[in-house]
Amino acid sequence: MRQIRNKAEFDQAVQAPGLTVAVFKADWCGDCKFIDPFMPDVEQKYADDLKLIQVDVEEAEGVSEAYNVLGIPSFIAFSEGREVMRLVNRLRKSRAEIEQFLDRAVEVHTALKA
């Protein structure tokens, strides 16, 4: 997963063609560490449909503020720069919840392109 260090990198990544999903995390976040073991498999599973980027809320704090991300881990899906949906709350996310969100994001992105 590509690491985003600042707002400029973030803007460039989400403006790219296709579907980009930003994963907001922090090193100190226990719920973020909970998803770490399975996220590489999730990323591989969706590699043909979307790009995942990782945003450290402390390192790129302006990004989380700009998108009102208060709880982590959180996910925001962008279709060619336009936010299409989000999974933003302070609750622990399961692999099933994350995959359900990604499936829906792919559906929305595909519908927008039609």
At residue 101, the pLDDT reads 97
Domain spanning 2-113, CATH architecture: 3-Layer(aba) Sandwich (3.40)
* Residue from 14, 29, 77, 98 carrying the catalytic annotation: 29
At residue 88, the pLDDT reads 86
In sign, the C-alpha dihedral spanning 64, 62, 3, 12 is positive
113 an active-site residue? Answer: no
At residue 49, the pLDDT reads 96
Domain boundaries, the chain: 2-113
Pairing mode, strands 74-79 and 19-25: antiparallel
Would you write out the chain's pLDDT as a tens digit for each of its 114 residues? 999 999 999 999 999 999 999 999 999 999 999 999 999 999 999 999 999 999 999 988 789 999 998 889 999 999 999 999 999 877 789 999 999 999 999 999 999 987
Backbone angles phi, psi at 112, to 5 degrees: -70, -30
* Residue from 14, 22, 26, 32 carrying the catalytic annotation: 32
At residue 70, the pLDDT reads 84
E-assigned strands of 13-81? 19-25, 51-56, 74-79
Tell me the C-alpha distance between 82 and 5, whole Å. 20
32 an active-site residue? Answer: yes
C-beta atoms surrounding 2 within 10 Å: 11
